[in-house]
Amino acid sequence: MTRPLLPLTARSRGEAHRAATPLELFFDLCFVVAVAQAGAELVHAVAEGHAGSGIANYAMVFFAIWWAWMNFSWFASAYDNDDVLYRVVTLVQIAGVLILSAGVSRAFEEHDFLVVYLGYLVMRLALAFQWTRAARHATDPAERTMCHRYAGGVLLCQVGWLGLLLAPEPARAWVFLVMALAELAVPLYAERASTSAWHAHHIAERYGLFTIIVLGETVAAATVAVKSGIVENDALDELLPIAAGGLLLVFAAWWVYFVVPAHDRLTSSRQAFLWGYGHYPLLMSAAAIGAGLEIAVEQAVGEAHVSTLSASAAVTIPSALFLLLVWLLHARYFKVGTAQQLVLPVAALAILMCSFAGRWAVLAAGLVAAAAVATGVVLTARNPATRGAGA
């Protein structure tokens, strides 16, 4: 039975059989609501010919979603005591992301970030409370300093984000850039005092689960788009190549992400920071694959005001970026020999080239991704020293 109050003390980094909790899984699922909203607005912006502003708004909203998720995940890995207060504060954070989700449309369409800011405020105040609580129970002065730095940094950055509401619209991109860098600097500064007790296997699992959920949202969004296109426009011939290629791309994305033991890269704080921060563009590109498939479907049935090349690029660019980022973040460290090292970078380049394949672009990209996985499997089978299989 869950106890109302327990000391919020650091867990052991060597804890055996550490796994994600039901609360963490629920947390992830609720965050994907916000990811879906951002993806839907990106589709609308690109389909209407406003790709530049749509991508910029998508990057800003996705940063808020990802950063709040990431901060919770690393904190929970180190301090989750599963008492009633911890659960309640986590549920408050979930409420915050749902508020943020409700403001995504206004952020995209009217450049009004008030609701997004309020949702982010709820999440960040809850996180600052958790860090303050951890500081109160810390017995080591260095750990207490670290917790206070985290709490203070979170609150100061939240004040800085007011610039998105108060600054003139042309300056908001610069406000975002400055504040995003400030947010990224908080953990680097806080952990100079002491290293938080995150658990490598647990963190790798948390990121993996969130990646699965984002890819699942990609499949769901694309499936709905294809279904609508078939029902409303009787366009099976035009949509079948997109559906088949999109499915191959998502299957390949899942394969290459999970084929190697990512937790083996999390052996130091420096590696953990690079790996954790690198997932911002990786997860954003994973979600954007689904948005791209929707755009390709809408273009194929004549509902998007973009060219075939632009619609194809909406799929191939995030797909190529995802493969390249997986290779950069962890896959390359487990490959033996030049041939294995080149599989994903070459596949990413080939997928980009598929943009020029006209109505067959998505299918061609999917076949390239599948061929990359098959090539990786063959090369790994020939070299038993390689850890993991496939691309």
Tell me the HSE value of 183 on the side-chain side, using a 13 A CA sphere. 24
Decide if domain 200-382 falls under CATH 2.60.40: no
With cut-offs at 50, 70 and 90, classify the pLDDT of residue 238: confident
Instruction: Note whether 31 and 15 are within 8 A (CB).
Output: no
Percent of the chain with pLDDT over 70: 97
Q: What is the pLDDT of residue 2?
A: 65
- Does residue 380 carry a pLDDT above 90? no
Average pLDDT over residues 15-20: 86
DSSP class of residue 50? -
Q: Comparing C-alpha atoms, which of 353, 363, 352 is closest to residue 296? A: 363
pTM metric for this prediction: 0.91
Tens of pLDDT, residues 41-95: 888 888 888 888 888 889 988 999 999 999 999 999 999 998 999 999 999 999 9
With cut-offs at 50, 70 and 90, classify the pLDDT of residue 264: confident
Q: In the numeric block, which tokens belong to residue 72?
A: 């919770």
Domain with CATH 1.20.1410 in the chain: 200-382
Q: What is the pLDDT of residue 344?
A: 94
Q: Comparing C-alpha atoms, which of 275, 272, 277 is closest to residue 66? A: 277
Tens of pLDDT, residues 160-212: 999 989 989 888 889 999 999 999 999 999 999 999 999 999 999 999 999 99
Phi, psi of 222 (to 5 degrees): -65, -40
Angle between helices 236-258 and 361-382 (to 10 degrees): 30
Q: What is the pLDDT of residue 261?
A: 85
- Which is it for the CA torsion 347, 352, 355, 357, positive or negative? negative
